[in-house]
Amino acid sequence: MSEHEHAACGCREYHELSRRNFIVGTAGATVFGAILPAWLPKVVLARSEVSSRDIIVNIFQRGGADGLSLVAPFADANYYTARPALAIPRPDSGDANRGTALDNTFQFPRPMLGLLPAYQAGELLCVHGAGLAYSSRSHFDAQRFIEVGKAADLTITTGWLGRHLATTEAMRPGATLRGLAMSSGLPTDLTGGPKTLPIPDPATYAIGGSATTRDARADWLATDFFLDQEPARSSALDATATLALLRSINFTGYAPSNGAVYPNNGFGRSLRSAAALIKADIGVEAIQIDIGGWDTHVQQDPLAGAMYNLMLTFGNAVGAFWADVLQGNGNYNVTLVAMSEFGRNVRQNGSAGTDHGRGGVMFVMGHQITGGRVLTNNWLPLARENQQDGQDVRVTIDHRDILAEVVRNRLGNANLDLIWPGYTATMRGVTR
Amino acid sequence: MSGTAAEQLDESIESGGSAGIAGRAQGAQAAEDAEAERGRRAALKAGALAVAGLLLPSLAGAQGARRKGPGSDVPRPFGTPATLNLDPIDPTAAWVSPELRLVRRITMGLTDAEGQRARQLGYEGYLDYHLAADQIDDGAVTQYVATTWSYTTQNGDALYNIEQGTLQTQLTNAAIYRSAFSTRQLKERLVEFWTDHFNIDIQKVGYLKVLDDRDVVRQYAMTTFPQLLRASAHSPAMLSYLDQTISRRGSPNQNYAREIMELHTLGVNGGYTQNDVAELSRVLTGWTIAGRGVFTFDPNLHDYGAKTVLGITIPATTQASVGAAAQNEGEGIINVLVAHVSTATFVSQKMLRYFLRYDPTDEQVAQVASVYLTTGGDIKSMLRAVLSRQNVMSAPAKFKRPYHYVVSAVRALAPTVANVSTLAGQISVAGQAPYTYDTPDGYPDSAEYWSGNILPRWNSASFLANANSASSVQFNVTPFMTPATPSAIVGAIDRACFGGEMPQRLRDELVAYVSVNPTSTTRVRETIGLALSSSTFQYF
């Protein structure tokens, strides 16, 4: 996959960003008082307001995923005019690459059909015209603003998901690990979360060096740091405890339910590990997984090339996760959300790709999600006069509306004013 | 892509981490897919991590490990400590030598040689020695750096078109090499300090940071603060980083005007107002860049209206009557800033925090600030006040930041380093890749910020202790095993890493570990890795 990703990503800024990827400046602190911003004077640890809180799996599609390919507006002739080389053929066409209708307006392209069972079961919601209300086409700004939860405010260094964890009681009292990101560094979303670690691959999270002696060395370190000063002591013991905790889970032998098959690539394996973690029931309540490569400036090709392969990975992995964890009203209470920093221009560019746009698609999945539909807010035909700045899908649903409803109703945290300061979310009926 | 600095860093992480970084051992599999690739790239910029840890003095970690994980086997319990005395151990309790305490404070890491030098010269003599950095012969390192990373010696015309990642790699590797091996260790500590104080993200300004590092930070690191600030205010990198270069009459950008007061001089509570920021931004219109990294004042961009900054009124003029001399408006305000008592206090407080303790007393701050005011901000004089024997002997240990930690481990083991990118990768994974902190406040200086990301530090220690690659990093363990008895081995570790002041408890732990097989180089290397991973080695 690396080949097409490199070919597809022409944007210099994105290369820069993918090197930085995670915002160094938000590296977290271990002390409550230090991680919580000044505007958060009194933390109210919310008692759960719902009887069963969901675990959240938060997927960030980095690079600016093209919503008009992910959930394509087949009923709109403007779409076909704007994208002669990139449009997904209508579901009623005879084209082998035709999509599958989700309603009278939108369709999934072929590579996204892995998500159709979840959609048909009413557990997958697509949200179109979603995004950041603040106008930015910078990957860096848009990702940062979504992740910290407020646009253009450089004083906030923690992330919305981290603050959710910081302002609610642990689902499992005394849990060793409440949040994790399957990446080498902690993404900004999760920064500030207590008991939260970046764990690139839970199956191989271990102290370096000889596998034969690593348990003995972990023991040695736990003993050595046992009497260290804070905050290093807690950090070290959390690390050793997490090492032991993850070692106790058989990731490699994990057998998905319902015959679910995850793609054998990084994203697929991450979601598979997420399922294993959830089923191990160790008190993890937030899992972040990033999937990159969506910055499709050149040769986007949603029918057979770069975008096709990305969507195939995304659709099949998330679809497998649904089958594995959610299908058949399983006992696992999970809400999965996926979003990108922005969508892409309505019109294709001169390189058979698309440039940075505004409105995009969010996905929300779970037992208690009002799925099986494409949620929009005053969706209009993609005539130029209806486009944002004359070139983009309008942002008609603030991404925070979707997240806030999930946080309040599914994660049981009413501290929305602390998680998204200065914003009053509009509930869009995302949850049942 | 191949051959870029990012690739080299990636490779260094890959290879460097092969012994140390969990999850990369299965490199073949990981390499199959792009996401894993992306994940490693992310490591380059990976921030330090937020972790856990409410400061509850509890056994939560250990208890959590003992708790049965539902649906799985019972996690392996940890060894219980020999004592139930829960008072934390202060590593400085064993650090009785004033000279060695000073070495820890003013170098990038204690070595046997520096310890001996300090004991020989005495406390004051050793401080004098390092304060007179330009009299210490550092020719070998200077030559090596100039030869190996030659872009660090070149000017803007030669650098502007060089790929940014290449420049970043060269600058980073040169810094790490100097930090590890330069004889002018106090200067290197100061360079690190001023690099954060005048933070610039190379990812925003590219080659200009190479010039700034050499011609501003290194050039003036040990002179006076006013000289350093003026150099920074005329640095194309700084003006570019803080958007001064896009500021002009009618549409001033306040970024630099704000930060020069908030972060560089007065401090956020230093007595300026938002109106002062707005007015100073007008004063500074015209300060910009010409050509390839050359400061210039452009009279066509300047706002010639009347302004008032910090109570000082600058009367209205005209371009025709004043022209390029309008630059002096800004120079005048900078003169006011460097002479301001708030600047003396702010810089003193920060210097005390960096070299001495997180919580300097008001008296200590006032004392160093008075030195600032009486010496015209002489950095060496301020350091003498900061590093008085009384201050150093009463200061609690500080938690090393990742850069300091990795470099101090390198200094302790003195490996042969053929590929500095390997070390850069270790530092990056631990969260402190040089010159890439994106906001102007610089990498934080607190234990809370850094202590959460402990596993990469342990992995870095493990990597260094096991390093045995002539083309990358090679640590010769043989001298630590002569003779190969537990007490001799741990004694050698003590001399190399702790100046002979290893706490007894750590000594006992290491002896217990190595005693399993003291003649095994593998076991001895692991023991050394544990010594570097230990709680005590996290501090200085």
Q: Nearest C-alpha of chain A: how many angstroms from B72?
A: 6
Write the ipTM. Answer: 0.83
**Average pLDDT in chain B:** 86
Type of residue at B16: G
A325 in contact with B, Cβ within 8 Å: no
**Residue A356, pLDDT above cutoff 90:** no
A143 in contact with B, Cβ within 8 Å: no
Q: Do B36 and A266 touch (CB under 8 A)?
A: yes
Query: pLDDT category, B243, cuts 50, 70, 90?
Result: confident
Residues of A in Cβ contact (< 8 Å) with B49: 27-28, 185-186, 197-198
Q: Residues of chain A with pLDDT > 90: what percent?
A: 69
Q: Do A174 and B67 touch (CB under 8 A)?
A: yes
What ranges in A265-378 are assigned the alpha helix state H? 266-280, 306-321
Chain B contacts in chain A segment 11-40 (CB below 8 A)? 16, 18-32, 34-35
Q: B464: closest CA among B441, B430, B438, B437? A: B430
Question: What pLDDT was estimated at residue B132?
Answer: 98
Of B33, B86, B538, the CB nearest to A265: B33
Enter the pTM of the model: 0.74
Q: Is the peptide bond before A231 cis (omega within 30 degrees of 0)?
A: yes
Pairing of strands A124-131, A100-101: unpaired
Of A186, A226, A241, the CB nearest to B49: A186
**Average pLDDT in chain A:** 87
**Residue B217, pLDDT above cutoff 70:** yes
Pairing of strands A286-291, A196-198: unpaired
Measured between alpha carbons, how far is B321 from B436 in angstroms, rounded to an integer?
Answer: 43
Q: Residues of chain B with pLDDT > 70: what percent?
A: 84
Worst-scoring range by mean pLDDT, A63-67, A192-196, A416-420? A192-196
The single-letter DSSP state of residue B417 is: E
**Residue A263, pLDDT above cutoff 60:** yes
Residues of B in Cβ contact (< 8 Å) with A210: 522, 526
Q: Residues of chain B with pLDDT > 90: what percent?
A: 76
Residues of A in Cβ contact (< 8 Å) with B44: 19-20
Q: Where are the beta strands (DSSP E) in B298-405?
A: 307-309, 312-314
Angle subtended by helix axes B34-45 and A12-20, to nearest 10: 70
Residues of B in Cβ contact (< 8 Å) with A5: 34
Span A70-77, mean pLDDT? Answer: 98
Q: Which of A224, A264, A295, A316 would best serve as a mutation to test chain B binding (most B beta carbons within 10 A)?
A: A224
Residue A420 near residue A404 (C-beta atoms within 8 A): yes
Q: Nearest C-alpha of chain B: how many angstroms from A305?
A: 15
Question: What pLDDT was estimated at residue A46?
Answer: 47
Q: How far is CA A29 from CA B54, B305, B533, in A?
A: 10, 45, 20
**Residue A388, pLDDT above cutoff 70:** yes
Question: What pLDDT was estimated at residue B398?
Answer: 97
**Residue B51, pLDDT above cutoff 50:** no
Structure tokens at A238: 């959390």
Worst-scoring range by mean pLDDT, A133-137, B219-223, B423-427? A133-137
Question: What pLDDT was estimated at residue A329?
Answer: 66
Q: Is the model more confident about A266 or about A184?
A: A266
Structure tokens at A355: 């440039």
Q: Do A205 and B506 touch (CB under 8 A)?
A: no
Question: What pLDDT was estimated at residue B87?
Answer: 72
Structure tokens at A277: 């973690």
N-terminal to C-terminal alpha carbon distance within chain A: 38
Q: Do B40 and A223 touch (CB under 8 A)?
A: no
**Residue B470, pLDDT above cutoff 50:** yes
A331 in contact with B, Cβ within 8 Å: no
> Closest residue of B to A192, CA-based?
B50
A303 in contact with B, Cβ within 8 Å: no
**Residue pLDDT, tens place only, B366-395:** 999 999 999 999 999 999 999 999 999 999
Residues of B in Cβ contact (< 8 Å) with A143: none
- Residue given tokens 């919601």 in the structure block: A125
Question: What pLDDT was estimated at residue A144?
Answer: 84
Of B41, B53, B88, the CB nearest to A19: B41
**Residue pLDDT, tens place only, A293-337:** 898 988 999 999 999 999 999 999 999 999 999 998 667 899 999
Question: What pLDDT was estimated at residue B452?
Answer: 76
Q: What are phi and psi of A424, to 5 degrees?
A: -110, 115
Angle subtended by helix axes A214-225 and B504-514, to nearest 10: 170
Helices (H) and strands (E) in chain A, counts: 14, 11
Q: Is B277 exposed, middle or buried (0-12, 13-18, 19+ CB in 10 A)?
A: buried
**Residue B508, pLDDT above cutoff 60:** yes
What is the residue extent of each domain of chain A? Answer: 12-205+260-377+391-419, 206-248
Query: pLDDT category, B1, cuts 50, 70, 90?
Result: very low
Q: Do A231 and B447 touch (CB under 8 A)?
A: yes
Question: What pLDDT was estimated at residue B251?
Answer: 86
Residues of B in Cβ contact (< 8 Å) with A193: 50
Of A227, A235, A267, the CB nearest to B88: A227
Measured between alpha carbons, how far is A400 from A151 in angstroms, rounded to an integer?
Answer: 11
B493: left (phi over 0), alpha (psi -120 to 50) or beta: alpha
Of B61, B436, B505, the CB nearest to A20: B436
Worst-scoring range by mean pLDDT, A178-192, A270-284, A364-378, B11-25? B11-25
Q: Nearest C-alpha of chain B: how many angstroms from A280?
A: 6
Q: Is the model more confident about A184 or about A207?
A: A207
**Residue B413, pLDDT above cutoff 60:** yes
Q: Is the model more confident about A43 or about A127?
A: A127
Of A6, A191, A198, the CB nearest to B1: A6
Q: A103: closest CA among A79, A73, A133? A: A73
- CATH code linked to domain A12-205+260-377+391-419: 3.40.720
Measured between alpha carbons, how far is A308 from A302 in angstroms, rounded to an integer?
Answer: 4
Question: What pLDDT was estimated at residue B502?
Answer: 96
Span B346-366, mean pLDDT? Answer: 97
